Structure 1
């Protein structure tokens, strides 16, 4: 199998919403198609990928560094013993001549291509990605369904509590049993009113998580933790700046609810520092590293190995991003679950039509690879006809 072309484009997922830190009116992602000379059923195999939401498109890095390295490489140096593109060998090529550290943007570009390479690897074997992963890394065991929660509850222009309640109720009506809302974009007293309005819909705190998007200093994060203590929330997400591990440890020690964090941690090494110094409890807290933002599945596998060596189960991992790639990883690698975005960042959070959501869990597609071809709204963007 040889790469014949890699094409990319920037795609808008802008929306008139905001969290505590940024608005998403100009949000973009990178979409890529990795074309090969490997023919199946009369057509060359193509792998598709895109970057996750929240970090903007990475077209410059992709075009100037990552894609040229793959195209310039000896094709024989990129394949495994069976002649299929090897994501690990391709990963080594993509990061060649990159200095250690500084993971914030190039990790997204590498993760975008990595997604497409794993799509190709599974397609070459004629199986869905979760089956490939279960066979290689989990003794063939795959979860038949993945637990998902609905992420939303953003700040909308002129938002009232009734609008938030209507949004969260719509998620429960879809079949979700847990939802997440934003905090930190309003004064504490206003956010508490919003949380109480949400609790009136969910019926209890175990079905409601809150996300501060790393907005707070330690004092403010502690004030929120104290104020939210009576609610018994599912988790308190990113209460302080993502690399302030000492601050996070202080909040985690004082909070009565689980802490969730990691979506803005982009490497195995930084993830290791998080679990070493962040004061998190592997029996209670949650890790949300997003493979599409953090150098892809190749690095995520290394991260899972590191976590296991520090006493963390994969069942404490719930990737950020709300994409079908994450669902495959959750089912194939035995993660706790995956985030979902039912109504924002369209269309990249959509499930395939043959996937069933019920009682907070979604079944996976049996389409080879990740299965983006089965989601018309996504495939129209990812298809080579659009990207070329």
Structure 2
């Protein structure tokens, strides 16, 4: 059992939208295909992976460091003790050989891409959906058959006025979502409040709307927004300040009682632990958004969950960023609180299986081996084109 080839390709995201910090018109993502000599149904087993939106394709890191390390590894360094499957934890150690602690940067994204493909492989070789494999290994076989998902949208774009923002949110509600999210911080406070109130006219209550500042605010501005937002009783107020400014996050919790959310731009267990230690996060209400595809993969995410348990946090307070099927499998198999969703944007990476609509805010997963990419037609077409 061995890996015979690893192919990487940078693919454009093609989204003409922006949040409070960046636009996505020139952003891309790395797609990898790990080809093995394992044969199932007459074809080699291939594992696929990619990085979430929000970070550029780490092609150089993958091609210069991480792919060569994996290709040069000996079988006993990457297989389980029985030699019957690949071992994601051993492979993670191989990938990180020679890497110094700290300075996580973009290398966490590169490792996350390969880690996703490895877990896809492992589940396909065991002929199980990844969520079932995770449940069997870490949760006594218990799975969540349906996972809470919310619709992330409300981006800024030149042609989107308040009426079009409302139409966008109506569309998400009609698709079956019970919670929608919109961007703030890319306009003035007064304009953002008008946008928020326009969406609140459509949804049942503030608990059906989350807002996301994408780390834009300094402390003074974050508090100004908090004071205006609190009466709305929103689902959450997300990433008010820089993701590494734990003091800002902690101080903001003194000024904002409803739920806050952050973590999508923290890419290691150590950074996640510092958020829990110093960020003033409240385990009874706040939400953690760590994204395995950006933060060294599921192997590291398992370490984060272990750390959270030690600090009294439930995995139900984790709702990962990214809107992809990898996080959906983790949520179903490990009992997280839900997953992000991107209806209509960041295609073909965003979204879930074709024949599994969102109903009352929840979505199911297909019963096929691996992560389930094969059940999403536009995505699997892209992934196979890279492999071939």
Q: 1:140-174 CA deviation, whole Å, 9 max, x = no partner? A: 10001000000000001132101110001100000
- The answer to whether the 8 A contact 2:33-2:387 is kept is yes
Matched, 1:21 2:30: no
Q: Distance in 2 between matches of 1:82 and 1:164?
A: 55
* 1:216-251 CA-partner distances (Å, limit 9, x unpaired): 000000000001121110000000111110111011
Q: Distance in 1 between matches of 2:386 and 2:230?
A: 50
Q: Which has the higher mean CA deviation after the structures are superposed, 356-365 or 330-339?
A: 356-365
Show the counterpart of 2:66: 66
Q: Is the CA contact 2:354–2:375 (under 8 Å) kept in the aligned structure 1?
A: yes
The residue correspondences of 1:185-224 to structure 2 (distance < 5 A) are 185-224=186-225
1:33 touches 1:46 (CA, 8 Å); kept in 2?
yes
Aligned position for 1:283? 284
Aligned to 1:131: 132
The answer as to whether partners of 2:9 and 2:386 remain within 8 angstroms in 1 is no
More deviation in 41-50 or 185-194? 41-50
CA distance in 1, matches of 2:349, 2:138: 27
Separation in 2, partners of 1:352, 1:40 = 22
> What is the SS of the residue equivalent to 2:228?
helix
Q: State the match for 2:306 in structure 1.
A: 305
Counterpart of 2:31?
31
Moved over 2 A (4+): 385-388
What does the per-residue CA deviation read over 1:258-280, in whole Å, with 9 as the maximum and x for residues that have no partner?
A: 11000000000000000000001
After TM superposition, the structure 1 = structure 2 runs for residues 102-181 of structure 1, keeping only pairs within 5 Å, are 102-181=103-182
1:47: which partner in 2?
Answer: 47
Unmatched segments (≥5 aa) in structure 1? none
**Residue aligning to 1:91:** 92
**Residue 267 of structure 1 contacts residue 295 of structure 1 at CA under 8 Å; is this kept in 2?**
yes
Query: Given that residues 225 and 256 in structure 1 are in contact (C-alpha distance below 8 angstroms), is that contact kept between their aligned partners in structure 2?
Result: no
Match of 2:57 in 1: 57
1:208-247 equivalences under 5 Å are 208-247=209-248
Separation in 2 of the partners of 1:187 and 1:77? 54
* CA distance in structure 2 between the aligned counterparts of 1:171 and 1:53, rounded to whole angstroms: 20
Question: Does the 8 Å contact 1:80/1:86 carry over to 2?
Answer: yes
Deviations 1:279-319 (A, max 9, x none): 01001100000000000000000000000000100000000
Contact 1:152 1:180 (C-alpha < 8 Å) held by counterparts: yes
Contact 1:62-1:109 at 8 Å conserved across structures: yes
Alignment check: 8 A CA contact 2:32 2:386 kept: no
Q: Deviations over 1:312-360 (max 9, x none)?
A: 0000000000001110000000000000000110111122123232000
TM-score by length of 1: 0.98
1:29 counterpart SS class? strand
Please report how far the alpha carbon of residue 256 of structure 1 lies from its aligned counterpart in structure 2 after TM superposition. 2.4
CA displacement at 1:76 relative to structure 2: 2.3
CA distance in 2, matches of 1:46, 1:354: 23
Measure how far apart 1:40 and its partner are: 1.1
C-alpha displacement of 1:104: 1.8
- Structure 2 residue ranges without an equivalent (≥5): none
**What is the CA–CA distance in structure 2 between the aligned matches of 1:223 and 1:191, rounded to whole Å?**
12
State the distance in 1 between where 2:272 and 2:159 align. Answer: 38
Q: C-alpha displacement at 1:27, in angstroms?
A: 1.1
Cα distance in structure 1, aligned partners of 2:387 and 2:59: 13
Pairing 1:214-363 to 2, within 5 Å after superposition: 214-363=215-364
TM-score (norm 2): 0.98
1-side partners of 2:258 and 2:27: how far apart?
A: 31
SS at match of 2:253: helix
Distance 1:324 1:112 in 2: 13
Q: In the aligned structure 1, how far is the partner of 2:124 from the partner of 2:360?
A: 30
Q: Secondary structure at the match of 1:357?
A: coil
Query: How far apart, in 1, do the equivalents of 2:327 and 2:152 lie?
Result: 14
